[in-house]
Amino acid sequence: MNTAHDAFAALRYRDFSIVTINQFCLTLAILIQEIIVAYSLYQITKDPLTLGFIGLAEAVPFIALSLWGGYFADKFNKQMIMRICLFFAVPMPLILWWLFHQFDHGQIAVSTLSLGIYAVIFGLGTIRGFYNPSATSLKPFLIPRELYANGATWTTIGWQSGVIIGPMLGGFMLAGIGRETSLLSVAVLLSVCFILISLLSKRMFPPIEHSNLKDSLSEGFRFIWKTKIVLWAISLDLVSVLFGGVIALLPIFAEDILKIGPEGLGYLRAAPSIGALITMIALTKFPPTHHAWRNMLLAVAGFGVFTLIFAFSNYLWLSLFALAMTGACDSISVVVRQTILQIYPPENMRGRVAAVNGMFVSSSNELGAFESGLAAKYMGTIAATVFGGCMTIAVVVLSWMKTSDLFKLDITQAEHPDKDL
């Protein structure tokens, strides 16, 4: 069957479809729970710092364990690791349900409730540190090489759909059926994810080359350092997210600059994901991988330009458009980067390479939020956003000058990619 212009080509493979549906359900469960826990805890404590601790509680174990997760993903069966992780994830919302139930009945204090929630989130971060490298490195084994770009697009569509629907559904559920029933629903969604992964066909994976743990972990770093296109793809994403992200500053724009209140904040938060989802649907038909590196640089440059437009906008419609376009540009970059990370690493090293990439992406998101807040405090919100947009464009210009040899590279034709590229 000719799959060159088949937008649904990757989804015609049973196991890939199962993994894509699983990703949607998992993203939905995580974000519903995030909205419920964050809103409820802030409503109880009235302390914004509690929200920061939630993110920190998840980020610390994930970043610390990602390399180990990558090693395990390459050493052991990826599907088994995913099943084990989901098995331990299912009880987490039930523990949160119990903590809130105990607090509502006066059995525990606010401090105990908060510590209990942070412990659960820490546990979820630990699970994520092992789950993500296995899930990411599994996908290339589910579809042929020529469909990697199409698969990366559908994977991101599943994730972006969850990102859009999850927070809105979480808010409606919290208001409509209450906190405890909503958390039980999250446990049901996670159970569905466990069942879906259990339905995957059994498969064997290439064995890891080194039995020495230190050598195995460092091998992923060495491969990235020696493979130019992989190194620059990860670095470009890291720096652009570190300096260019404005998500952490959206409450300030909503309250003090655009003066649109909490409802307007919801629109601002949804805009990048809506722009990304629309673009992802288009990319299923028009993949950006023919001139992959050029397209990635243009996309990141566009991200910086629309960040600058958002910074100077005093109109809601223009701000929403600019944010939607940052999401659109980011989605193109994501598809190209994911395709590169699926094609270039050897099969028995994909878990460790995915772990290094995941570690940098997550840390850049967390550090980017911190950088945005720090810059806004000392430079002002608009100046901090302008600074981020300018830094993103500057990084693209530097990358353009240093990587001109990658412009002619057609990654879709690389059967055995050269590690010097």
H helices present in 245-349, as ranges: 250-252, 261-283, 292-312, 316-343
In this prediction, residue 211 carries a pLDDT of: 56
State the burial class of residue 372 (Cβ atoms within 10 Å of its Cβ: 0-12, 13-18, 19+): buried
pLDDT band at residue 191, thresholds of 50, 70 and 90? Answer: very high
Residue 188, CA distances (Å) to 59, 84, 192 in order: 25, 16, 6
Domains 1-201 and 217-421 share a fold: yes
Q: Work out the average pLDDT over 45-60.
A: 69
CATH superfamily of 1-201: MFS general substrate transporter like domains (1.20.1250.20)
> Whose CA is closest to 313, among 379, 261, 385, 240?
385
pTM: 0.66
State the burial class of residue 267 (Cβ atoms within 10 Å of its Cβ: 0-12, 13-18, 19+): middle
Residue 281, CA distances (Å) to 1, 109, 288, 295, 390 in order: 22, 48, 12, 17, 29
In this prediction, residue 210 carries a pLDDT of: 54
Q: What is the distance of C-alpha 301 from the center of its chain?
A: 20
Please check the confidence at residue 126 and state whether its pLDDT lies above 80. yes
Q: Which residue has the tokens 């992989």?
A: 230
Average per-residue pLDDT in the chain?
Answer: 80
Identify the H or E element spanning 219.
Answer: helix 213-226
In this prediction, residue 3 carries a pLDDT of: 52
Contact indicator for 409, 343 with CB cutoff of 8 Å: no
In angstroms, how far apart are the furthest CA atoms of the chain?
66
Phi, psi of 178 (to 5 degrees): 90, 165
Model confidence pLDDT, tens digit, residues 222-261: 777 777 777 788 778 777 777 766 776 776 777 678 887 6
Please check the confidence at residue 70 and state whether its pLDDT lies above 60. yes
Residues in the chain: 421
Q: Which two tokens stand for residue 277?
A: 């989802």
Q: Which two tokens stand for residue 8?
A: 């649904």
Residue ranges of the domains in the chain? 1-201, 217-421
In this prediction, residue 158 carries a pLDDT of: 82
In this prediction, residue 170 carries a pLDDT of: 76
In this prediction, residue 343 carries a pLDDT of: 77
CATH topology of domain 217-421: Growth Hormone; Chain: A; (1.20.1250)
Q: How many CB atoms lie within 10 A of CB 23?
A: 22
pLDDT band at residue 94, thresholds of 50, 70 and 90? Answer: very high
- b/e per residue 85-102 (b: at least 16 CB within 10 A): bbebbbebbebbbbbbee
Instruction: Please provide the DSSP assignment of 23-43 as one string.
Output: HHHHHHHHHHHHHHHHHHHHH
Model confidence pLDDT, tens digit, residues 357-408: 766 666 566 566 666 666 776 787 788 889 888 988 998 898 888 887 777 7
Contact indicator for 68, 129 with CB cutoff of 8 Å: yes
Model confidence pLDDT, tens digit, residues 149-184: 788 778 878 877 887 787 777 777 877 788 888 899
In this prediction, residue 52 carries a pLDDT of: 60
In this prediction, residue 236 carries a pLDDT of: 80
Q: How many CB atoms lie within 10 A of CB 218?
A: 14
Please check the confidence at residue 420 and state whether its pLDDT lies above 50. no
